Amino acid sequence: MPELVFFSGTMDCGKSTLALQIEHNRSARGLVGMIFTRDDRAGQGKLSSRLGLVTDAVEVEDGVDLYGYIVEHLSQGRRADYVIADEAQFLAPGQIDQLARVVDDLEMDVYAFGITTDFRSKLFPGSQRLVELADRVEVLQVEALCWCGARATHNARTVGGVMVLEGAQVFVGDVTRSADEIGYEVLCRRHHRRRMTAASARAAALSPDVLPVTAD
């Protein structure tokens, strides 16, 4: 039976790499996929991984009916055996419903990849709808690590290396940006709660210890 599968994880855990691997494995067996993405780091109409792999994709804009897009594609005599949707957290809840309809009505597997929560530890609307509708939710086993070495479970937005909790939910960035830019860092829950990034941890480690003062 076809499935809607949601592959989730933090930034830097290999979601896009897995999406590209699934595309490679199926295309090598003669299957044809339709790839959707939104706001990929490589630019519009691209699905890319940090390993340097990249392929063309359909850029999803606001208001696009994904079910209707695929039906139109098929009605023109073109083929599609499965669907990959990367950066699925940026899709609208209604577009997730459309992907579920692709599974149910067109009997295609849909593989969605995305971050579950934003930099404030709040669910992205698209990810929330995927959790509600998916036949399976797979947490990726390639663990991203916090600066302390623990398993990273949270995404932090940083400005100049300092964690921030204000701003728009969607800001396209990367974990590879320099410390002076707006970027992202993956943290364990403890250090996300404490707002302690790698930069702030280094600053604390370099601070001179204050000697206790005792009375004569």
Is 59 part of the annotated catalytic residue set? no
Catalytic residue of the set 59, 72, 87, 143: 87
22, 153 contact by CB (below 8 A): no
What CA–CA distances, in Å, run from 139 to 13, 35, 186, 208? Answer: 10, 21, 15, 41
11, 153 contact by CB (below 8 A): no
78 phi and psi angles, rounded to 5 deg: -90, 165
Give, to the nearest 10 degrees, the angle between helix 66-75 and helix 93-106: 40
Residue 166 CB neighbour total at 10 angstroms = 8
Place of tokens 């403890």: 190
What is the distance, to the nearest Å, from the Cα of residue 100 to the centroid of all Cα atoms in its chain? 19
The secondary element (H helix, E strand) that includes residue 185 is: strand 182-187
47, 19 contact by CB (below 8 A): yes
147, 187 contact by CB (below 8 A): yes
Q: Which residues are catalytic?
A: 87
